[in-house]
Amino acid sequence: MCESSPHRRIALLICDVPFDTIQEKHGDYTRIFGTLLEKSLQPINNIRSADSQATFTLEPFDVYAQIYPKDDVYDAMIITGAGACYRLRIRPAWPGMNQKTDRVYASDIALAMGGACVRNTREVSATKLRLNELGKKVYGAESGVLNLHLMNRDHVPTEPPSFHIIISSDHSPNHGMIRFSQSESSGDAPPLNFRLTDIHILSSQGHPEFTESIMRTFLNARREFLGTEVVDDGQSRAGNQNDGIAVVGKAMWGIMGVE
């Protein structure tokens, strides 16, 4: 049965700070992720009746200050992206992740779950990623293609126990994973039939919250660090298709039971 007017309370774990030039135009990560959630919710509400409109609150927590939410008062948690060295500091904060039952979207959760994170080829800007059969079901994309903005040099080459890879790129076999709520061992096969609400954790190496403008600003700000060749290539693709809102955002809401 559909909830009459579902409201979702979402915790945002902030693990980094956007450049000043990004904040001046797009706001901090609370506003950036709030925009992703709001815009991806709009098409869902457009087909819901006036008395069943879904709403949400997004509450930020500063991981730098070691401030974390209580698991039992939120419908979901979102973890922002972060520099590779800082992700290592997040790991001790998740001793109970295996027992969590609330829905979680994470930009990079593998380290917290016992996986390894290693250096890889630099990937930037709007990029065509490949979905396997499980990924097609999660994102509702029969084409098998997912277009997302990337800004990474690290990757998780293999999945942690009880996770299933759903996305890959030309440079990484693992660009996104899911873990089902009922997973109990690393040998568990994904269920043949499942609902998005059966997913406990969704991780993405890509950035669904990034827009063309954010990516262009990011590339310009990091030109000296990334190098001219990488930046120019990224700028040439920054305006390409981006499925962050229409596909990934929609899936995030589906995991939270809002469809």
Region of 31 (left: φ > 0; alpha: ψ -120 to 50; beta: rest) is: alpha
* Per-residue pLDDT tens over the stretch 162-193: 889 999 999 888 889 998 987 544 457 888 78
pLDDT digits (tens, 9 = 90+) for 86-143: 443 343 344 334 333 233 433 456 666 666 666 677 899 999 999 999 999 999 999 9
Strand pairing of 118-131 and 7-14? unpaired
Q: How far apart are CA 129 and CA 167, in angstroms?
A: 7
Ranking 24-28, 32-36, 178-182, 210-214 by mean pLDDT, the lowest is 178-182
Signed CA dihedral, 134, 139, 143, 148: sign only: negative
Q: What is the pTM assigned to this prediction?
A: 0.88
β pairing state of 76-79 and 7-14: parallel
- Report residue 30's pLDDT band, with 50, 70 and 90 as the boundaries: very high
Q: Distance (Å, rounded) from C-alpha 11 to C-alpha 8?
A: 10
